[in-house]
């Protein structure tokens, strides 16, 4: 066991005294976080496009005039991708109403519009009675929003305005005497948080830092140790190979944990983020992805031994995976062939998972996928590594 401790200690010391390692593991992610936050914090604030979730409880296949569908069409006409769109619509089933509320709480949507089951009936009744001059309660739609969140409140106002426009149109064109629709605004409760760009980008930078460290702390080191006979020297002693791998890996993961807390503290105490750094789930998941990335680093270090080749290969892997991980900006509207890489990218799943586990928002991918995909990478790395002769005799 003392071998593991000494392998851990000496490799950690070696890294901590290595300016290059310190730069890539600690300084670079910190700088990147600063630069991104300072550059992009105010971007998009002036946009008047609101993310609206519509839940249509009224039967879409109802006989007669389907007022609910007409209303949805009206919303679609002023939504993305139409010019000057006010809304980006997402449709959800009535069963998912709680998920929709969560999305608003986590600022992934601004409001939820629920068209009630009785909507068609209420409109019909309102129209018929209006024709004969009898005043009756207008049909209601429910709008759920967060009163203490600016964009949600604004969105609620814009929906109210849109409904007034529709009512005016109905009154003037169809000569109805009364408003057909009424908005019933309901609050969802307390907003969970207000995710700023710092909140959005911090978990991604933490994931990126772990991935970069996995590659840049391990691959070049292992390659040079193989090239200059240090691995051979270890192998000529009674030291056990698995003790080396354990001690060596632990020293790298220790550095990655320092990186995690450094970035998280920076995000919270300097950049005013509200991410949950001490979430046990987040820390455990981070440890899990560190192991996966360390194994990828081992693969590269076992594949090539020249410093130029290691540098080229790490850049070749590192850059596209980072750009297709949604670390800096949300990924949407990508061409299908790029999406293939996104769906296979362990960083994308790790970033999604870390955002949810650090309380920034709901993961864009299910949690089981966020565990499965990095696990598959881990397994593939292990299988590949078992075919390489890092320590074994030839």
Partner 1 sequence: MEKIITVKNLKKMYGSFEALKGIDIEVYKGEIFGFLGPNGAGKTSMLEILEGLRRPSDGEIHMFGKEVQGDVLPELKERIGVVLQQTSFLDHLKVKEILELFTSFFKKTLVISDALKMVDLEEKSNDYPENLSGGQRQRLAIAISLINDPDLIFLDEPTTGLDPQSRESIWDLIEKLKSNGKTIFLTTHYMEEAQRLCDRITIIDHGEVIEMGTPEKLIMKYGGESKIDFACSPTPSIEVLKGLSENIQRIDDHCRITTKNITKTLEDIVLWSKKYNFSLTNVFLIEPTLEDVFLNLTGRELRE
Residues making contact with partner 1 (CB under 8 A) = 2-3, 5-7, 10-11, 13-15, 17-18, 224-225, 228-230, 232-239, 393-394
Q: Rounded to whole angstroms, what are the CA distances from 140 to 15, 79, 147, 175, 318?
A: 65, 21, 20, 20, 53
Nearer to partner 1, 5 or 91 (CB): 5
Helix (H, G, I), strand (E, B) or coil at 88: strand
Question: Shortest Cβ distance from residue 102 to partner 1 (Å)?
Answer: 48
Nearer to partner 1, 182 or 224 (CB): 224
Question: Shortest Cβ distance from residue 295 to partner 1 (Å)?
Answer: 21
Question: Shortest Cβ distance from residue 296 to partner 1 (Å)?
Answer: 22
Nearer to partner 1, 19 or 63 (CB): 19
Nearer to partner 1, 23 or 316 (CB): 23
Nearer to partner 1, 209 or 247 (CB): 247
Joined together, the tokens standing for residue 340 give 């293939």
Q: Rounded to whole angstroms, what are the CA distances from 226 to 153, 229, 303?
A: 61, 5, 10
Side-chain-side CA neighbours of residue 135 (13 Å): 3
Question: Shortest Cβ distance from residue 215 to partner 1 (Å)?
Answer: 18
Do 299 and 218 form a contact (C-beta atoms < 8 A)?
Answer: no
16 phi and psi angles, rounded to 5 deg? -70, -25
Question: Shortest Cβ distance from residue 214 to partner 1 (Å)?
Answer: 19
Nearer to partner 1, 125 or 227 (CB): 227
Joined together, the tokens standing for residue 257 give 């944990």
Question: DSSP label at 79?
Answer: B
Joined together, the tokens standing for residue 388 give 């390489």
Question: Shortest Cβ distance from residue 7 to partner 1 (Å)?
Answer: 7
Nearer to partner 1, 5 or 316 (CB): 5
Question: Shortest Cβ distance from residue 100 to partner 1 (Å)?
Answer: 54
Nearer to partner 1, 150 or 230 (CB): 230
Question: Shortest Cβ distance from residue 257 to partner 1 (Å)?
Answer: 20
Question: Shortest Cβ distance from residue 292 to partner 1 (Å)?
Answer: 25
Helix (H, G, I), strand (E, B) or coil at 89: strand
Q: Which residue has the tokens 């950049």?
A: 271
Nearer to partner 1, 22 or 97 (CB): 22
Q: Rounded to whole angstroms, what are the CA distances from 61 to 57, 71, 139?
A: 11, 14, 19
Do 31 and 267 form a contact (C-beta atoms < 8 A)?
Answer: no
The Cα–Cα gap between 56 and 175 comes to 27
How do 139-145 and 111-115 pair as beta strands? Answer: antiparallel
The Cα–Cα gap between 261 and 278 comes to 9
The Cα–Cα gap between 136 and 150 comes to 34
């Amino acid at each position: 066991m003392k071998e593991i401790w000494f392998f851990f200690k000496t490799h950690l010391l070696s890294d901590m005294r290595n300016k290059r390692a310190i730069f890539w593991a600690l300084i670079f992610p910190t700088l990147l976080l600063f630069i991104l936050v300072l550059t992009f914090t105010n971007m998009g604030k002036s946009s008047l496009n609101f993310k609206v979730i519509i839940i249509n409880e009224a039967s879409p296949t109802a006989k007669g005039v389907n007022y609910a569908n007409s209303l949805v069409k009206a919303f679609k006409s002023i939504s993305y991708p139409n010019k000057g769109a006010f809304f980006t619509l997402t449709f959800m089933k009535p069963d998912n109403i709680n998920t929709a509320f969560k999305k608003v709480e986590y600022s992934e949507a601004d409001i939820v519009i629920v068209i009630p089951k009785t909507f068609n009936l209420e409109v019909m009744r309102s129209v018929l009675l209006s024709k004969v001059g009898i005043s009756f309660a207008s049909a209601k739609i429910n709008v759920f929003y967060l009163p203490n969140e600016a964009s949600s409140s604004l969105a609620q106002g814009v929906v109210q305005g849109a409904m007034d426009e529709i009512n005016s149109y109905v009154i003037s064109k169809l000569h109805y005497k009364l408003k057909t629709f009424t908005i019933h605004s309901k609050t969802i409760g307390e907003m969970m948080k207000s995710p700023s760009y710092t909140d959005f980008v911090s978990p991604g930078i933490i994931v990126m830092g772990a991935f970069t460290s996995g590659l840049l702390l391990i691959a070049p080191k292992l390659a040079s140790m193989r090239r200059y006979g240090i691995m051979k020297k270890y192998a000529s002693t009674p030291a056990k190979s698995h003790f080396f791998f354990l001690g060596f890996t632990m020293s790298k993961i220790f550095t990655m944990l320092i990186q995690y807390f450094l970035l998280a503290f920076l995000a919270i105490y300097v950049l005013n983020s509200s991410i949950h750094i001490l979430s046990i789930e987040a820390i455990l998941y981070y440890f899990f992805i560190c192991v996966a990335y360390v194994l990828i680093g081992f693969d590269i270090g076992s594949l090539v031994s020249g410093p130029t080749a290691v540098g080229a290969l790490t850049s070749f892997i590192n850059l596209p995976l980072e750009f297709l991980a949604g670390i800096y900006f949300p990924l949407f509207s990508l061409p299908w062939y790029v999406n293939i890489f996104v769906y296979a990218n362990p960083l994308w799943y790790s970033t999604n998972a870390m955002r949810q586990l650090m309380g920034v928002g709901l993961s864009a991918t299910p949690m089981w996928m966020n565990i499965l995909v990095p696990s598959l990478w881990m397994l593939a790395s292990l299988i590949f590594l078992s075919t390489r002769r890092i320590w074994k005799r030839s």
